Chain A
Amino acid sequence: MNPFRRSPFVLFAAMLVYVFLYLPIFVLVLYSFNASRTNVVFTGFISQTGSQVVMDGSNVVQSPCGAFHWYCELSKNKDVTNAAKNTLTIAVVATIISTIVGTMAALALQRYNFKLRPFSQLSLYIPIVIPEIVMGIGILTLFSQLFGWINNALNLEGASRLTLGLGTVIVSHIAFMIPFVTLVVQARLQGFDKAYEEAAMDLGANEWTTFQRVTFPMILPGVLSGALLAFTLSLDDFVITFFTNGPGSTTLPIYVYGLLRRIITPQVNALSTVWIALVFFTVLLLQWIQNREQK
């Protein structure tokens, strides 16, 4: 018996919170089909031809793409496609590297005793307990000072000068993702029985074969959830990227932020809707995989 299980208060509160969570998303998606170019008021869905009833007298759009006009515009927008490419490149590269490095660290921290262990464990908590902006400007300061020094020392000119760009963003993402990967994998390793590895070695497998054939497959779910977390953190990251990106390395969040400060067009809504849809299907896919694994 659980006193709160069927409490109407809890149900009501929970539903209200869900409404709070989803109302903004719903509005965002709805406005992506807005016929008004300024996107101030929702003036109705875009039609392919014919006239629109205009309530606020704003410029009404007609488009061969119909209701999906802003999505068509989006796909033609070079800045958006570039930013999307950058975002994905950064996320994929940084996720792969931080997952490998973070998993190694988790193995070290969970399995071995060494002098630097307490220091290492502590250093991994730092990015979690300090605001991202502190890390962001720290890294920015490091890069600008370091690059300035190198450029001067080597007399680099023009295009060969070291500047902020994709490389600096990727390196910075790796730095803030490693602690998360490590902590997730470490949590999974806590329940790992050493007997499995001993059994493998007992049956004739050396250390490397044991890792490949037994340890790694067994910790793989943990490593994957660490990688997934890292990937989403990278996709979502604004602050670190904001301080470490340079010309040509704009990511989607940075691009959207830039737009918001200047103009608001339903294109942003269309972009957001695409993003939300992708997230939705990714989460759905993951749930499905997870469910299948449990069976």
Chain B
Amino acid sequence: MLKRLRENKSAQGTLLISPTLIVMIGLLIIPLILTLIVSFGQRSPDGNVIYSFSLDNYIRLAGFSTDCTGGASFCFNPLYAQILWRSLALAFNTTVLVIALAYPLAYFIARAHPKRRTTFLFLVLIPLWTNFVIRVYAWMMLLRKEGVINIILGWIMGLLRIPFTPLEMLYTPGAVLVGMVYEFLPFMILPIYTSLEKIDNSLYEAAADLGANSIRTLLRVTLPLSMPGVVAGTILVFIPVMGTFIVSDILGGRQVILVGNLIQRQFLDARDPTFGSAASLILMVLTLIVTYFYTRKFGFGEEIVVA
């Protein structure tokens, strides 16, 4: 028995992978299939699932409704399409802003003296490891009407003798955007840093030697070589932003509803798991499509695992 296993490398590999496969199939693939099945089901009055094959949930998501005001049998209400679009737009804006903030910092760390590099990285790790929920809460304290930003602004305005009414910043789309950027910034800094750090200094020397100025070196050497990091970071930022509901919940209040909030409410408040499942699948398909086209264009870097 042992002898046979010793000679059968393929069986050894299968044996080693089997616990992982069991977990992946049991807790990933089966749940996804189940979600698909449930999404075709209907909600029973007590919030349970009646298994059937109905496309109602998807039709509802697309914006068509049979439950209309004014007695019409069929009407169009783009509410859910708007939510999807809002989530996509927010994810896109967040990613762009995060890249803009992360790149200079990653560059600064990568080009710092090796002795100081660990310290600078350390400073990025601390906010990253500080709990997700705590980080949103911190922004709540900053953005509130009586919050720190308004206090500082009030103080400055007071010095300038300009009348000041505190700004309403909390529970706005802007607050959600800032919160998202803050939450996911470290996930972009680390992969970009990793790919920048790999660039050999002699490449900069070669670029300078060949007559490239700073801007050209940045555009033609640094940026292209750090693309794997940017791609990995984008995946690590874009996908979670699409699905997160805490940031919008806490910083957006009831004002900013994203797909994540929509799904969460179906499972908790509204108790319609079938509609929630359909929304969740649409969200998954949407992110997979975006990721697919994005990675097909730019490739998939190993930097994905550094964060």
Contacts and interface: CB of A to CB of B under 8 A. Distances in A.
Interface of A: 1-5, 7, 9-11, 13-14, 17-18, 20-25, 27-28, 31, 40-41, 101-102, 104-105, 107-109, 111-117, 120, 123-124, 126-135, 137-142, 145, 171-172, 174-175, 178, 180, 182-184, 187, 207, 232, 235-236, 238-239, 242-243, 252-253, 256-257, 260-261, 264, 268-269, 271-272, 275-276, 279-280, 282-284, 287, 291
Q: Is the interface of A mostly helix, strand, loop or mixed?
A: helix
Contact of A141 (B6, B105, B273): B273
Contacts of B305: 180, 183-184, 187
Nearest to B239: A131
Identify the 7 closest CB pairs spanning chains A and B, nearest first.
A131-B243, A112-B13, A138-B31, A24-B138, A14-B108, A108-B16, A13-B104
A10 B104 contact: yes
A1 B204 CA distance: 7
B123 A21 contact: yes
A132 B242 CA distance: 10
B27 A283 contact: no
B16 A104 contact: yes
Interface in B217-276: 217-218, 222, 235, 239-240, 242-246, 249-250, 260, 263-264, 267, 273, 276
B175 to A, nearest CB: 12
Nearest to B48: A148
A276 to B, nearest CB: 5
Nearest to B101: A17
A223 B124 CA distance: 23
A115 B240 contact: no
A113 B105 contact: no
A20 B101 contact: yes
Contact of B144 (A23, A40, A261, A269): A40
Interface stretch (B60-68, B128-136, B155-163): B128-136
Nearest to B119: A287
B214 A260 contact: no
Interface in B1-51: 6, 9-17, 19-21, 23-32, 34-35, 38, 49
13 contacts: A10-B111, A17-B105, A20-B185, A21-B186, A27-B141, A108-B20, A128-B239, A133-B243, A138-B31, A138-B32, A140-B267, A272-B131, A291-B118
Given A2-B201, A101-B23, A280-B126, 11 more contacts: A4-B222, A17-B101, A21-B182, A21-B185, A28-B141, A113-B9, A127-B28, A133-B264, A145-B34, A207-B6, A276-B134
Determine which residue in A5, A21, A40, A252 has the highest number of CB atoms from chain B within 10 A of its CB, and name it: A21
Given A145-B34, A257-B246, A272 B10 contact: no
Nearest to B39: A141
A108 B16 CA distance: 6
Contact of A129 (B101, B218, B291): B291
Nearest to B103: A13
B192 interface: no
A124 B24 contact: yes
Contacts of B30: 142
Given A114-B14, A128-B235, A137-B276, A183 B304 contact: yes
Contact of A113 (B13, B222, B250): B13
Contact of A114 (B17, B26, B35, B136): B17
A11 B108 contact: yes
Contacts of B235: 128-129
A236 B19 CA distance: 25
A130 B244 contact: no
Contacts of B217: 3-4
A41 B147 CA distance: 7
A107 B127 contact: no
A8 B263 CA distance: 46
A283 B126 contact: yes
A207 B12 CA distance: 12
Given A260-B133, A279-B129, A108 B273 contact: no
A17 to B, nearest CB: 4
B122 A287 contact: yes
A178 B260 CA distance: 24
Contact of A182 (B14, B20, B139, B142): B20
B88 interface: no
Contacts of B302: 187
Given A20-B182, A113-B10, A133-B264, A275 B240 contact: no
A283 B31 contact: no
A24 B182 contact: yes
Contacts of B21: 116, 120, 123
A187 B304 CA distance: 11
Nearest to B186: A21
